[in-house]
Structure 1
Amino acid sequence: MPLTLKRRHGSPYWYLRGTIRGLVVDESTRTSDRKAAEEIRAIREAELLKRSVHGDSATRTFAEAALSYMETGGEGTHLAPILKAIGLKPLAAIGQAEIDALAKKLKPSAAPSTLNRHIYTPVAAVLHHAARKRWCEKPVIARPKEPKGRIRWVTHEEAERLIQAAAPHLRPLVVFLFSTGARISEALYLDWRDVDLERAHVVFPKTKNNEPRGVPLHPRAVAALSTLPHRDGAVFRRSLPTTLANGRTTPLGDPYEIREGGGGQIKTAWAGMIRRAGIDDFSPHDCRHTWATWHYQANRDLTALMELGGWKSAAMVMRYAHVNTSHLAGSIGEIWGKSGDRGHSGTIKPKHGAA
């Protein structure tokens, strides 16, 4: 029978009661206005009828699926702009073409890695959740192909050259990056409340993986941070106080503005540093690669490296085990023997009867 409006004892709201193609309905309209309730009844009845005929994917929207996804613990960090763009679309209307168009609209000039992180991954997560609830078919989504990640690292001697060539306000940041493996955004937006110099420890509350991460501070990093003249707010600033020729002191610089990725704010100072140090093709993120390479060389502990660096998979840290294999030189040397000559160069003869 069609849906009807009913009053319930003690409630000011109108309720929907009835059965649509075997589906029993008993739910509140959340309004006490009869005219508004009647409009809700008509819309809801049409929706349920359509869903009973064509399935959930024809009527369930992306917003419904996203809400359900987040209610079950799903990550919603990048979903806001996606919901604004396609939230009202039925799940059945969202396929490869729609996702590609969404990526082009929201991130027209973004790199493949950014598109995957901000568009394709969250959309796929919501659609896979909806598929598990049988609201839609399991999605098959092609993602932008990302170039193989490079690993650029410097030696300790080159790192010292960079530190010495850095501008005064940049030098503590460079030491910090080499000492902690922090991503540039984690460092630029670090607040003093997350730094404990006495305990030699730092916490990154907001990370790429959305999981807080703590890292012990090397004495070199503690010394560098101790030189900073302030102990509140943002740790790293655009400039440090300096004394002018007239004896006046300039104020502490502003914090870095929050940007996605975080690296553009130090572009000019960084370029000057690497030019003065005579080191080419070295970005702020390469400090993280350098720290990871140093850590593995010193400790040979991929588990510790994975935890301290905030990587979620062993595959991400295994590449640092393959970057520098100087510790395996001894094993290579044994191939030919210490002298490089085993004493003879015969042919290995097959056993009697062997082909």
Structure 2
Amino acid sequence: MPIKKRGTKGIWWIDIVTPTGERIRQSAGTQNEKEAQELHDRMKSKLWEQSRLNVKREYLWEEAAIRYLKEIQHKKSLDDDKRYLRWWTEAFRGRAINSITKAEAAEVVEKRYSAPASRNRMIATLRALLNTAIRDWEWIDHVPAFRVYEEPDGRIRWLTQDHAARLIERLPPWLATMARFALATGLRQSNVYELTWDRVDLRRRCVFIPGSMFKSGKDFYCVLSDDAVSVIRGQLGKHSTHVFVDRNGQPMSYWPRSNDSIMRKEMKSLGITDFVWHDWRHTWASWHVQGGTDIYTLKRLGGWETIEMPQRYAHLCVEHLLEPAQVTNLAQVRLTSAAQQKNKADESALSA
């Protein structure tokens, strides 16, 4: 049967067997039988052309996204890739992947994000999928030269203690709880909302983050401050498996855009700009340095692989360098030299 209804919404589905014996079943996206039949006929005609006239078949975005997701299950950035692919699907649903243009991609990411780094990460997921479609699947022949947004070097955005406290007070309780925990531990966004009770050890005051959640692949034990322990204890009994839950009391499988919208609204009311969730980690690290935590200890607390990352915060605290800086004080050198000469003269006078 070429078309048939499926589901309770009465959507028509297309069912075609190609000249090569391949079977294609997909939604026509309409409840109108005539429209579904016309789409079926166009697809069947195009498939005939592809088979008889050696025209390459056009693959839909949904086909590519599903296949790509199956092939990247091993990636440590899988959650991020899923989120970006979901947003690309909103834009390109029903489109042939060889019809996607550079300008369309730029329009999508610029509506979604303002930060250049976030735009580049979303574009990178699209580029990786299309490159796979060329290299491994041979579905398309080229990938557009997508725009790369210029990122500022070493962006560090942190809040004062007053601003942080006022912002957390304004957030809804379930979101404020996660913000407090991020600020108390320096953990990344996914490390917080995906935290499960089996990785919490209140006796040893630490939580375990598996290496699968880090680019380095190494396991990490995050030490809990008094405030972090207080937050954890406040979550006891709210869910059987997950420490943090959403407004409906359910664990989050991904970070919804609505969470960021809530934060932006409250930040605007406080005059806070250019602040994203990851900046809670920047704030945590900045406060540590300002409080006198040395860079090597901060590296261990934050789970960084190299010293370069925590080193970015070193400029926030220079008080401990004031005394060593006096070594090159020319005036001090002269005074010391004069004192030494006077002492020698006094010793000579006494010996005489």
Tell me the TM-score range normalised by the shorter chain.
Answer: 0.5 to 0.7
CA distance in 2, matches of 1:189, 1:179: 16
Corresponding residue to 2:303 among 301, 307, 313:
307
Which residue of structure 2 lines up, in the alignment, with residue 350 of structure 1? none
Equivalent residues of 2:208, 2:219 under 8 A apart = yes
| Distance (Å, rounded) in 1 between the aligned partners of 2:86 and 2:214 | 17
Q: Which runs of 5+ in 1 are unaligned?
A: 1-13, 18-24, 32-36, 239-252, 344-355
Q: Once the 2 structures are TM-superposed, how far is the Cα of residue 180 of structure 1 from its aligned partner?
A: 0.6
2:259 aligned with 1:262: yes
Aligned residues between the structures: 283
> One-letter code of the match for 2:181?
F
Which one of 79, 83, 92 corresponds to residue 77 of structure 1? 83
- Match of 1:78, SS state, is helix
Alignment match, 1:152: 158
CA deviation profile, 1:48-107 (whole Å, cap 9, x unmatched): 456x45xx5x73444444344323216333212423432443343222112123346x63
- Is the 1:99–1:120 Cα contact (8 Å) retained in structure 2? yes
Matching residue of 1:297: 293
* Secondary structure of 1:111 counterpart: coil
3-state SS of 2:207 partner: strand
The CA RMSD measured in Å over matched residues stands at 5.5
**1:140 maps to which of 131, 136, 145:** 145
SS of the residue 1:76 aligns to: helix
Counterparts of 2:41 and 2:185 in 1: how far apart (Å)?
62
The alignment's TM-score, normalised by the length of structure 1, stands at 0.54
AA at the equivalent of 2:296: R
Q: Which residue of 2 aligns with 1:29?
A: 23
Higher helix share: 2
The TM-score, its normalising length taken from structure 2, stands at 0.55
Matches for 1:1-355 after TM superposition, within 5 Å: 25=20, 27-29=21-23, 43-48=46-51, 52=54, 59-73=58-72, 75-103=81-109, 107=112, 110-113=113-116, 116=119, 119-133=122-136, 135-146=140-151, 149-152=155-158, 154=160, 162=165, 176-183=181-188, 187=192, 195-202=200-207, 215-221=221-227, 223-225=229-231, 228=234, 230-233=236-239, 255=249, 259-260=256-257, 262=259, 265=262, 286-293=279-286, 294=288, 297-300=293-296, 304=300, 307=303, 317-329=310-322, 332-336=325-329, 339=332
Q: Deviations over 1:117-153 (max 9, x none)?
A: 6742322221222343353324421144455633325
For residues 208 and 117 of structure 1, the distance between their equivalents in structure 2, rounded to whole angstroms, comes to 20
Q: Which amino acid in 2 is paired with 1:95?
A: T
Task: State how far apart, in whole Å, the 2-side matches of 1:29 and 1:268 are.
Answer: 49
- CA separation in 2, counterparts of 1:48 and 1:316? 55
Distance in 1 separating the partners of 2:24 and 2:309? 50
Once the two structures are superposed, residues 273-317 of structure 1 have per-residue CA deviations (whole angstroms, 9 ceiling, x without a partner) of x99xxxx98977654223223279335267636636xx9x97654
Q: Which runs of 5+ in 2 are unaligned?
A: 1-15, 26-39, 74-80, 338-352
